[in-house]
Homo-oligomer: A and B are copies of this chain.
Amino acid sequence: MKSIQHSVHTLSPKQVHINDHFWSQYQQLVKDVVIPYQYDALHDRVPDAEPSRAIRNFEIAAGRQDGEFHGFVFQDTDVAKWIEAVGYALMLSPDPQLEQMTDDVIALIAEAQGEDGYLNTYFTIKEPDQRWTNLVDCHELYTAGHMIEAGVAYYEATGKRQLLDVVCRLADYIDEQFGPEPGQMRGYDGHQEIELALVKLYRLTKEERYLKLSQFFIDERGQAPNYLEQEWEKRGRYSFYGGKPQERINLEYCQAHQPVREQKVATGHAVRAVYMYTAMADLARLTEDERLHEACRTLWRNIVDRQMYITGGIGSTRHGEAFTFDYDLPNDTIYSETCAAVGMVFFAHRMLQLEPRAEYGDMMERALYNNVIGGMSQDGKHYFYVNPLEVWPAASHHNPDREHVKPVRQKWFGCSCCPPNVARLIASLGQYVYTSDEETIYTHLFIGSESTLSVKGADVTVQQTTNYPWDGNTSFSFQMEQSLSFTLALRLPGWCQKGQLLVNGQIVDYAAMLRDGYVYIQREWSATDTVEWRLQMDVQVLYAHPELRANAGRVAIQRGPLVYCVEQADHGDQLASLAVMTEASLEAYYDSSLLGGCTVIKGQAIREQNVDAEHALYRLQPPKRVEQAFIAVPYFLWGNRGEGEMSVWLRKA
């Protein structure tokens, strides 16, 4: 077992200024559209939308007005995630007006905090005596976690301490209540989140107690006797959501069925799972806990080798928004929640900090370029929660087993978890591009940007220029005080069959420099040096593992990091009757007029057609087979041309 690298520098989004067309557009959308829109929503000012009441809850809790609590028990997190996204947006560019609006919200939050540090409008308003009595259902620590992430991000963006002070007091209070000492609760939240948030708070404040508290929550989880089960027995087996006493408590759902180091298989609610794995990887690195690292590796392998959609999505059923079991990845009754793919990006990012292995970068990229951005429309106002790999709109409308699969994106405020999650990821995307340690700058994502990284005690500004994901050529240049000897590590993506490396225009044979999927270029770099990393971006036909029954006899098309799909808009309906012909027929071209400009893949297919309008449902006569051209478009752009069928996996003729 390798020893854990704990000297990795965790980047702040501030250090990376994204300036390529592809991602700048998304970041601008978040800043110009999503954040103002969400502000109005939180203040119940969006016409025709169900009021959020999230701000109003804080006003009531702060005593500024009278009234009843409204919304989910975790309604506060909508405000927290908005502030976090604002923090990242302010790192992109200053905006005094936005900052003032946010300061006002933060002042309100501070007023709603209890004398003891407690902060949660649901319990403050509605059940002040019931704090910490139903950890499995009530998201109290989860809500605290999101507030902590907001406090950290906003401080990093602005240097303003008010919210940071609030969340430190909150964390201090939680640290008093929870722990192994007599009089403390040995509990943990039903929805993991605070664990990764406390790591961020520790990273910023260097306060060891926060790290230890995170560790406590992770270590306690699933230990016998089971805290959540005892708590549930104590309240008569009732759920917070009412109904009769429950026959059993589903501990797998919240990954509390076993101590985390013994968990081998990803199970239960997918978002809870990956948020927890993210914190586990953080802690494995910071506490040099090899067993925890090993558990992360095992869970990673289980997801990536057996429970992940080709788009980087996770969650095979809507029941519990959950993992099911190995190789069970139905394309049609899928869940694959946007938030879970965001969580996969977090988990991959933390695994990269433990070990620079290209497969972590590959998966981060896979989730990001397909499931995550596919979750948002190009206007920034419509979202998918469920990201299917096969859509038949009539089934979404008329078959209850598929009604959770929406054939078009919904207004983002319909439910509140995914839209701000995408927003905060996109606004903070810079931090995922690189990591560095004392000797090496690791390049994980190919995104046009200017970044300031620290290596060998010096600041190096790295310029990355690329047209990714449309082509695979990226060039790098550097600015620094004086020439410096360090290593530039470039990810060789798993999808790339042939790369070409040029340093200062000279082709370099990188075979001997390749380790775990990264090419390590060690030299004395100066401001005149250029590196070109040319990744040949072929159209690829992918097959699924034969155990993945849903895709037997089918193929998916991929080019670079992008998974492709076919849509009814280009072919009419009955996409199931299309079967892709040989790979040789596939060809990529850029179509500037389609979907805002994208690389399209065209090919030849066999289409099965009904014979002579035969009406019999079952018949001896095979369908007529005609050859026809087809085009596939990037998955992340599907559903932008009205309601229609869509399919990622196509039959192979």
Which residue among A548, A552, A651 has the maximum number of chain B CB atoms within 10 Å of its CB? A552
Contact A545 B401 (CB under 8 A): no
Which residue among A306, A394, A542, A618 has the maximum number of chain B CB atoms within 10 Å of its CB? A618
Within 8 Å by CB of A400, from B319, B556, B609, lies: B319
A123 interface residue, CB < 8 Å from B? Answer: no
The complex places the Cα of A579 from the Cα of B651 at a distance, in Å, of 13
Within 8 A of B (CB), among A223-268: none
Contact A620 B541 (CB under 8 A): yes
Contact B324 A623 (CB under 8 A): no
Within 8 Å by CB of A542, from B543, B545, B618, lies: B618
Q: From A395, which residue of chain B is reached at the shortest CB distance?
A: B328
List, in ascending order, chain B residues with CB within 8 A of A544's CB: 617-618
Within 8 A of B (CB), among A186-220: none
Contact A618 B325 (CB under 8 A): no
The complex places the Cα of A310 from the Cα of B651 at a distance, in Å, of 22
User: Digit string of A520-549 for contact with B (CB within 8 Å is 1, else 0)?
Assistant: 000000000000000000001111111111
List, in ascending order, chain B residues with CB within 8 A of A547's CB: 574, 610
Contact A399 B317 (CB under 8 A): yes
Closest CB of chain B to A212's CB: distance in Å?
36
Within 8 Å by CB of A395, from B324, B556, B621, lies: B324
Contact A328 B623 (CB under 8 A): no
Contact A328 B553 (CB under 8 A): no
The complex places the Cα of A395 from the Cα of B617 at a distance, in Å, of 28
A304 interface residue, CB < 8 Å from B? Answer: yes
List, in ascending order, chain B residues with CB within 8 A of A550's CB: 576
Known pairs A620-B541, A651-B552; A399 contacts B306 (CB<8 A): no
Could you say which interface size class chain A belongs to? 35 or more
Contact A319 B545 (CB under 8 A): no
Contact B542 A620 (CB under 8 A): yes
The complex places the Cα of A552 from the Cα of B621 at a distance, in Å, of 14
Within 8 Å by CB of A577, from B304, B540, B546, B614, lies: B546
Closest CB of chain B to A175's CB: distance in Å?
38
A330 interface residue, CB < 8 Å from B? Answer: yes
A305 interface residue, CB < 8 Å from B? Answer: yes
List, in ascending order, chain B residues with CB within 8 A of A399's CB: 316-317, 324-325, 328, 330
The complex places the Cα of A617 from the Cα of B546 at a distance, in Å, of 9
The complex places the Cα of A392 from the Cα of B327 at a distance, in Å, of 11
Closest CB of chain B to A316's CB: distance in Å?
6
List, in ascending order, chain B residues with CB within 8 A of A398's CB: 324-325, 328
Closest CB of chain B to A245's CB: distance in Å?
15
A619 interface residue, CB < 8 Å from B? Answer: yes
User: Digit string of A387-427 for contact with B (CB within 8 Å is 1, else 0)?
Assistant: 00000101100111100000000000000000000000000
Within 8 Å by CB of A618, from B543, B552, B553, lies: B543
Known pairs A399-B328, A401-B333; A553 contacts B651 (CB<8 A): yes
Closest CB of chain B to A551's CB: distance in Å?
9
The complex places the Cα of A592 from the Cα of B317 at a distance, in Å, of 43
Contact A552 B540 (CB under 8 A): no
Contact B545 A308 (CB under 8 A): no
List, in ascending order, chain B residues with CB within 8 A of A394's CB: 325, 328
Known pairs A328-B399, A552-B651, A553-B651; A545 contacts B610 (CB<8 A): yes
List, in ascending order, chain B residues with CB within 8 A of A619's CB: 542-543, 545
List, in ascending order, chain B residues with CB within 8 A of A395's CB: 324-325, 328
Contact B320 A400 (CB under 8 A): yes
User: Digit string of A424-435 for contact with B (CB within 8 Å is 1, else 0)?
Assistant: 000000000000
Q: From A553, which residue of chain B is reached at the shortest CB distance?
A: B651
Q: From A547, which residue of chain B is reached at the shortest CB distance?
A: B574
Closest CB of chain B to A38's CB: distance in Å?
28
A616 interface residue, CB < 8 Å from B? Answer: yes
List, in ascending order, chain B residues with CB within 8 A of A2's CB: none
A622 interface residue, CB < 8 Å from B? Answer: yes
User: Digit string of A315-343 for contact with B (CB within 8 Å is 1, else 0)?
Assistant: 01111100011001010110000000000
The complex places the Cα of A59 from the Cα of B78 at a distance, in Å, of 59
Known pairs A325-B399, A398-B328, A400-B320; A574 contacts B545 (CB<8 A): no
The complex places the Cα of A476 from the Cα of B199 at a distance, in Å, of 85
Within 8 A of B (CB), among A536-586: 540-550, 552-553, 556, 574-577, 579
Contact A546 B608 (CB under 8 A): yes
Closest CB of chain B to A35's CB: distance in Å?
34
List, in ascending order, chain B residues with CB within 8 A of A577's CB: 546, 549, 552
Closest CB of chain B to A621's CB: distance in Å?
7
The complex places the Cα of A598 from the Cα of B556 at a distance, in Å, of 41
Closest CB of chain B to A601's CB: distance in Å?
16
Closest CB of chain B to A64's CB: distance in Å?
32
The complex places the Cα of A619 from the Cα of B614 at a distance, in Å, of 39
Contact B556 A618 (CB under 8 A): yes
List, in ascending order, chain B residues with CB within 8 A of A621's CB: 543
List, in ascending order, chain B residues with CB within 8 A of A579's CB: 553
The complex places the Cα of A306 from the Cα of B552 at a distance, in Å, of 26
List, in ascending order, chain B residues with CB within 8 A of A392's CB: 328, 549
Contact B306 A617 (CB under 8 A): yes
List, in ascending order, chain B residues with CB within 8 A of A574's CB: 546-547, 549
- Report 5 cross-chain contacts, Cβ distance below 8 Å, ordered by A residue: A318-B401, A325-B394, A330-B401, A552-B576, A552-B577
The 9 closest A-B pairs by CB, nearest first: A319-B400, A552-B576, A549-B576, A325-B398, A324-B399, A542-B618, A553-B651, A546-B577, A333-B401
Other than A545-B615, A550-B576, give 19 A-B pairs with Cβ distance below 8 A. Answer: A317-B400, A318-B401, A324-B400, A325-B395, A328-B399, A401-B401, A542-B618, A543-B618, A543-B621, A543-B622, A545-B614, A545-B616, A545-B618, A545-B619, A546-B608, A549-B575, A552-B577, A552-B608, A553-B579
